[in-house]
Amino acid sequence: MRIGQILRQECLVPDVKARDKAGVLAELAQRLVQVDPTLELEVLITSLLERESLGSTGIGDSIAIPHSRLPGLRQTMAAFGRSGQGVEFDSLDGKPVHLIFLLIAPEHASRQHLMALARISRLCQKESLRSRLMREPSADRLYQLIVEEDGKL
């Protein structure tokens, strides 16, 4: 599975406005709801917050990969947000998060969900990509960078 198959350009937020974890999750979830109106925003946000209550999805190196599985969801979807100021996310390294990949998958798609998480995680290990994602001002170019780098994995 390629990230370009689950991440749509409309789901990129190059300048996240929210200043806390719950706000970031809501802001990115709203983009997914705009793409798939069958999603219920409150259900999605609640699901993401419940997952966060089990342990932070802030993996360190300024990255967070909040994720959840939802009943009734037809396909795996992703959103991406960037916060120039950083957001406290209870990350493993204790540092603020700047790059957020939000992932949702159908409730019974455990394998697909894990594969997507692994792919995003591998992509985020590239320090050069993280640096480029922080500098790129254009949402179009952000999307291209993610898809191009994913193609190299």
Structurally, the chain folds into a number of domains equal to 1
Q: Quick: pLDDT tens for 43-65.
A: 999 999 999 999 999 999 999 99
> What's the CATH code of the domain at 129?
3.40.930.10
Is 67 among the residues known to form the active site? yes
Instruction: Give yes or no for residue 98 having a pLDDT over 90.
Output: yes
CA 47 and chain centroid, separation: 14
Which member of 67, 98, 108, 113 is catalytic?
A: 67
Range of the domain at 9: 3-151
pLDDT of 10: 95
pTM of this prediction? 0.95
Nearest to 66 by CA among 3, 132, 22: 22
The whole-number pLDDT of residue 1 equals 79
